[in-house]
């Protein structure tokens, strides 16, 4: 193309660059007046306070502007000479790359997104403010992608043409269905039924109160270990993340290894529980489950496991027992659990004094944190993967998401009582009181993990965005008993639910017994192993379980009889 023919395009690009640079600068200018609580995904966690003033170093901002001008011109020139290369899976289909206008739009969007992210990195502010700006930018960039709008999504438009409009009709149908059910579908939920094709490990409810049902599972071996095994899942989710399907059920795996296995199934809180506190949960859920498991099994002590928030709750219950001189628990496993909230990753940017005070006034003495709000917050921590990906697929292209048991569980949310929720916020994320011996008081007892003297197994996921690996590893520094730390690959859920039979991923151990202060130091001596960490944990748990005895023939014992088959009725209650 001749220079005189190129000039109009170059003029357009220059005008576009100037406009966009001015726009992004104005966007940052307005951050100081922005309410973080109004951002997508912030309904459950974000602070109602406005952002403080932020500034940019002029020389760095000028460099970003220069780089933007050059890259914008490069994109324009490349679009006139050949196909643009779009290194983003949202724009990977031929419908984008074969359409010069669509490709140019996508390329400029990617440049604008990168520029805005670069500006976020040079903000002159404290670490928390910079993290909040970074989060805002991520949300804005994710929401403004041209792929999210039917008129600009070349792939969706081609699908509409090829299907003669049927994809649009199906997308509208999907949207109406999701509006009726109150959440966006991430999987084909019609294909899953709790108790039929998920949460199917055979068992029975042997105890229930206003907080939990306790499920005992049918032994799959002729003999079982004398010490029973109690699992405490997170109260912010349904328990069956540990029992999705037979092939990936941690509960079934434990039963197959010869453990007499019990699990806490949480009641989905309703208005009648709006004044329930953290202490209430520890007393009537965790301590009751420990007591009943002991009574049914007849064992002097039991082995326990806590997952995520369930682990944090279990740790405080163990501290209460230790303060009372109660030795009912012989060992504990913590899966992606924090007791030290010094490093909480991305969730830290939501928490400050004003936010916690706001929540305490709102629901600290009675109220309910809705499960849908909490689920929305966690989804927007990964907006492209867990939000906009489904907006495009479900609504713009009229697709039915493929069946995925984990995503079905993810959408099956639970409520939280307000007083319980606000105690947790203040004593963990805000003040980190659990890590300070004697600072937090639960059921009249000072929480001191230094008195919880028992064997401890701690698992953390390397890519966990909810419980960062540093936070998970920090748990190793608090319990005086023999402690083993194992790190697995992947994230908060996929790293945990990694059965050996699939031989996927890997894990790391350090067998010299050293537990240095930081995870980085621990990693220097860690050894990688292929496959699942479950086998390592199973060997450890067997060593804590003493001799084997004949497996029981019936559920429960004495006054504790089978109430109903697993998975029970509490888990079936929807928000």
Active site residues: 308
Cis peptide before 567 (omega within 30 of 0): yes
> Which backbone phi and psi does 119 adopt, to 5 degrees?
-65, -35
> Which backbone phi and psi does 272 adopt, to 5 degrees?
-70, -15
CA–CA dist 260, 302 (Å, integer): 10
Per the CB < 8 A criterion, the answer to whether 409 and 451 are in contact is no
- Distance, C-alpha 339 to centroid of its chain: 17
Q: At what angle do helices 127-143 and 100-121 cross, to 10 degrees?
A: 170
Q: Which residues pair with 484 in a beta bridge?
A: 457
Residue with tokens 């945990």: 496
Q: CB-hemisphere CA count at 13 Å for 121?
A: 8
Residues 480-489 as b/e (b if ≥16 CB within 10 A, e otherwise) read eeebbbbbbb
Per the CB < 8 A criterion, the answer to whether 258 and 221 are in contact is yes
> Which backbone phi and psi does 150 adopt, to 5 degrees?
-55, -40
CA–CA dist 360, 382 (Å, integer): 27
CA–CA dist 258, 464 (Å, integer): 30
Residue with tokens 């600290």: 364
Per the CB < 8 A criterion, the answer to whether 318 and 329 are in contact is yes
CA–CA dist 233, 242 (Å, integer): 8
CA–CA dist 439, 446 (Å, integer): 7
CA–CA dist 246, 256 (Å, integer): 11
Per the CB < 8 A criterion, the answer to whether 347 and 429 are in contact is yes
Which H or E run includes 179? helix 166-181
Token output for 212 = 């939990």
CA–CA dist 525, 103 (Å, integer): 47
CA–CA dist 162, 170 (Å, integer): 14
Question: Using CB atoms within 10 A of its CB, is residue 40 exposed (0-12), middle (13-18) or buried (19+)?
Answer: middle
Which H or E run includes 291? helix 288-297
């Amino acid at each position: 193309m001749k220079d005189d023919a190129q000039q109009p395009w170059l003029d357009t690009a220059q005008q576009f660059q100037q406009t966009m640079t001015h726009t992004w600068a104005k966007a940052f200018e307005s951050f100081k007046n922005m309410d973080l609580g109004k951002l997508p995904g912030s309904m459950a966690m974000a602070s109602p306070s406005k952002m403080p003033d932020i500034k940019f170093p002029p020389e760095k901002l000028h460099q970003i502007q220069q780089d933007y001008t050059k890259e914008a011109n490069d994109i324009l020139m490349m679009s006139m000479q050949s196909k643009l290369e779009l290194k983003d899976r949202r724009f990977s289909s031929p419908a984008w790359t074969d359409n010069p206008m669509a490709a140019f739009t996508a390329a400029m969007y990617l440049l604008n997104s990168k520029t805005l992210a670069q500006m976020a990195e040079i903000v002159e502010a404290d670490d928390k403010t910079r993290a909040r700006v970074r989060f805002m930018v991520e949300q804005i960039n994710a929401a403004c992608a041209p792929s999210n709008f039917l008129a600009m999504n070349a792939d969706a438009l081609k699908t509409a043409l090829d299907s003669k409009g049927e994809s649009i009709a199906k997308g509208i149908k999907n949207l109406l269905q999701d509006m009726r059910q109150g959440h966006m579908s991430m999987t084909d939920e019609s294909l899953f039924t709790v108790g039929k094709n998920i949460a199917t490990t055979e068992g029975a409810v042997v105890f229930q109160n206003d907080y939990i049902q306790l499920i005992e599972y049918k032994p799959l071996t002729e003999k079982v270990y004398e010490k029973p095994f109690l699992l405490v899942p997170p109260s912010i989710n349904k328990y069956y993340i540990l029992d999705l399907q037979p092939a990936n059920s941690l509960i079934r795996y434990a039963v197959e290894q010869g453990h007499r296995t019990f699990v806490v199934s949480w009641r989905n809180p309703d208005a009648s529980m709006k004044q329930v506190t953290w202490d209430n949960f520890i007393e009537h859920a965790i301590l009751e489950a420990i007591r009943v498991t002991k009574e049914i099994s007849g064992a002097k002590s039991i082995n326990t496991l806590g997952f995520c928030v369930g682990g944090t709750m279990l740790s405080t219950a163990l501290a209460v027992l230790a303060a009372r001189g109660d030795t009912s628990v012989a060992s504990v496993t913590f899966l992606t659990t924090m007791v030290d909230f010094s490093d909480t990753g991305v969730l830290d940017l939501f928490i400050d004094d004003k936010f916690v005070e706001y929540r305490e006034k709102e629901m600290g003495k009675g109220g309910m944190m809705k499960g849908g709000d909490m689920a929305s917050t966690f989804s927007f921590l990964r907006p492209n993967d867990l939000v906009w990906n489904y907006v495009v697929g479900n609504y713009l292209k009229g697709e039915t998401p493929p069946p995925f048991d984990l995503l079905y569980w993810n959408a099956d949310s639970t409520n939280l009582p307000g007083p319980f929720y606000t105690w947790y916020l203040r004593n963990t994320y805000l003040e980190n009181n659990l890590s300070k011996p004697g600072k937090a008081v639960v059921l009249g007892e000072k929480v001191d993990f230094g008195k919880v003297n028992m064997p401890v197994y701690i698992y953390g996921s390397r890519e966990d965005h909810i419980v960062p690996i540093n936070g998970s590893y920090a748990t190793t520094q608090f319990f005086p008993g023999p402690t083993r730390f194992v790190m697995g690959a992947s994230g908060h859920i996929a790293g945990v639910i990694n059965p050996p039979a699939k031989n996927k991923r890997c894990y790391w151990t350090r067998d010299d017994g050293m537990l240095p202060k930081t995870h980085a130091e621990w990693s220097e001596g860690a050894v990688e192993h292929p496959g699942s960490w479950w086998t390592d944990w199973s060997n450890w748990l067997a060593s804590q379980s003493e001799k084997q005895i004949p497996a029981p023939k019936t559920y429960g014992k004495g006054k504790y009889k089978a109430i109903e088959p697993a998975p029970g009725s509490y888990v079936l209650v929807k928000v």
